[in-house]
Amino acid sequence: MRLGVLDVGSNTVHLQVVDAHPGARPSPATNQKVELRLHEYLNISGEITPEGVELLETAIADAISHAKEFKTEEILAFATSAIRDAKNGKEILLQINKKFDIDLQVLSGDDEARMTFLAVRRWLGWSSGRLLVLDIGGGSLEIAVGDDESAEATVSLPLGASRLTREYLSSDPHTSKEIKSLENYVIEAVKSSVPEDIMEHIADHFVATSKTFRTLARLGEHWFDDNPKYLKINSLTKMIPKLQAMSNKERAELPGVSQSRARQIVAGAIVARTTMERLHINELEICPWALREGIVLRWLDWMER
């Protein structure tokens, strides 16, 4: 059947339409993405502003129209940290679900980690052994570890690239003081909040998903001739000072770095490096499947029951 996966994230509202059947690999049919950056529409009370809500509703309306155009039979709609953390998130959900007659649900951070972990396991297979999976989104960092299709341990931290950029990196280029303040915050957050069962992961295979990691791996290829399917911590450590010294405009001219990603990539790189150092990871494999694929796979599993 043809499914639409509507992902209301911190950076984008992204519709992915796939042809999916139990036991088969989901096949992409079309997708539509609107860069919204909901975290930038938070007021001092932590609420999404009326302007942000209006833009969100417009993006959702366009996504639903696109899904209908491609004869999508069902839409699986979910929201992540931007709606989850907003003080008025519940009210926005009720308003959207009533207005568009959909069932937009908020995923917890642990749910995000579990769904992403499932997608990575299905992509890499059982031969990949014990997995440790990292995902940096716009609002949060998810980590999951396990031997099976269900992660044994998960954690979600408020270390998303968009969130940290808004809170710490306002200058262009970023100042040394801003960078140091951000680094100290990320180091302390990872040190104090990653649980022991993830710290003692004993993993065989280290994997990363998300646009942030894919962009960093692409920069590793650009600057150091690395394989873009992997991100090495040595290359990451060397590229961070290069990125810090650039303006947003200069970063946006790098291969694989969009205008919106150029503003966030330094924060994302700092989170990636700190997490890899803390978990003693030298290299991450980049997996093309992530949260949206995990949502589809879990729904198909449910349909087979």
Tens digits of per-residue pLDDT, 206-220?
Answer: 999 999 999 999 999
Give Cβ neighbours of residue 185 (< 8 Å, ≥ 6 apart).
164, 168
Torsion of CA 269, 272, 273, 276, to 10 degrees: -170
Q: In the numeric block, which tokens belong to residue 143? A: 């980590």
What's the confidence (pLDDT) of residue 86?
Answer: 94
Cis peptide before 228 (omega within 30 of 0): no
Q: 3-class DSSP state for residue 267?
A: helix
What's the confidence (pLDDT) of residue 170?
Answer: 93
Say what the pTM is: 0.95
Q: Determine the average pLDDT of the residues in 229-257.
A: 96
Side-chain half-sphere of 146: how many Cα atoms within 13 Å? 20
Query: Within a 10 A sphere around the Cβ of 87, how many other Cβ atoms?
Result: 12
Q: Which of 75, 73, 94 is nearest to 83 (CA)?
A: 94
Residue for token pair 């509202």: 13
Task: Please say if the pLDDT value at position 304 is more than 70.
Answer: no
Is the backbone of residue 83 left (phi > 0), alpha (psi -120 to 50) or beta? alpha
Q: In the numeric block, which tokens belong to residue 102? A: 């959909």
Is the backbone of residue 210 left (phi > 0), alpha (psi -120 to 50) or beta? left
2 DSSP β-pair partners: 19
Q: In the numeric block, which tokens belong to residue 124? A: 């890499």
Query: What is the spatial distance between Cα 46 and Cα 89, in angstroms, rounded to a whole number?
Result: 10
Task: Please say if the pLDDT value at position 105 is more than 80.
Answer: yes
Q: 3-class DSSP state for residue 121?
A: helix
User: Of 256 and 22, which is predicted with more confidence?
Assistant: 256
Write out pLDDT tens, residues 12-62.
999 999 999 888 888 999 999 999 889 889 899 999 999 999 999 999 999
Write out pLDDT tens, residues 69-96.
999 999 999 999 999 999 999 999 999 9
Helix axes 259-278, 233-245, angle to 10 degrees: 140
Q: For the chain, what percent of residues have pLDDT higher than 90?
A: 90
